[in-house]
Amino acid sequence: MNGAAGDSRSIDVPATPGFKAVYRTEGIYEAVLPAHYYSGRDDGDMIAQIIEARFGAPRQALDVLELGCGTGRLTARLAPYARRLVAIDSSAAMLDTFRSRFPEAEAHEADIPLAVSRLLDDGRAGGFDLVGAFWSLSYPLGEFFEEMTGDGIQPVADQGAARREAGSLVRDMLSLVADGGHLLVLFFDSQTPEQRLVTWAWERIAPFPDGGREYTRLLLLEELRLAEDRAIGHLTHIRAAGVALADSRDAAMAWFNRLHFKDMPALVRDPEVQAEVTAFVDAHTRPSGQVVLPSGIHLIDFQVTGDPHHHLPSQR
């Protein structure tokens, strides 16, 4: 990257509140998350639209599981459909906020692989009409391949075993979906200019596994295509362009440092990284002071059904 080459301005390198503090400290996540819009709709609107297309108008008739619920920001789009709502997140601070918003939900503090395993052990295979994972699935899949701490990134020694374990998680998630139900996943588009900048920064520490930064999404899609080949169900995959809207330059910088970089000292204290991010943010700042960053989203929907006539027109 060279967007800041020759820039003589001083760059403010932020102090770090601690690696991954955004997930441990209540209030940080929602404070720094910019709104994301796709053809005038935010990500919640897109979730609501696809759920309504699959299940019809909201009615509390479905058993719903959300993996990586966070503070419940997007749970509000699921709750109107839920007869029973089960939510999983590894952050105690985020779950505190979630429970205050959805006191009737069954909320569990656990990482996604452990939670999925426990649900299956409890006999809940095929127990959910809708399983949602919104912006949250790249992390647990990636953790099979590498360990990330504030000191750096260490790839696991056996990448083949990591791939098998990650694939097993996807298959286990599918096994939680009831016949006729849906697994609905949102993934960021790693090929947008914003995300390519983030990839460049992280790869200063360590390269991503095979496939680059999109490897977790490609892995998910590969497993779902294999499931489709086994007549487990049907895969729908849509990519939509959009923008992330930050209220100010400072808000955009926080979006990069607090969330994209997770307050990793090697990135937020690196003057070259900060110069590149600053140049990118400045290039996308409007006269109003708002920052409009190019974004993209992948919507991945897998319906579990063994009905070979699923795609035929309904009888009229």
Domain residue spans in the chain?
A: 38-243+294-304
Class of domain 38-243+294-304: alpha beta
pLDDT of residue 208: 84
Report pLDDT digits (tens) over 138-182.
989 999 998 887 777 888 889 999 999 999 999 999 999 999 999
The model's pTM is 0.89
Overall average pLDDT of the 15-37 stretch: 80
245's tokens: 């809207």
Give yes or no for a contact between 141 and 75, defined as CB atoms under 8 angstroms apart. no
pLDDT of residue 2: 40
Question: 144-158, 253-267, 276-290 — which is least confidently predicted?
Answer: 144-158
pLDDT of residue 211: 64
Check pLDDT > 80 for residue 16: no
Check pLDDT > 80 for residue 124: yes
Question: Confidence class of residue 1 from pLDDT cuts 50, 70 and 90?
Answer: low
Give yes or no for a contact between 59 and 129, defined as CB atoms under 8 angstroms apart. no
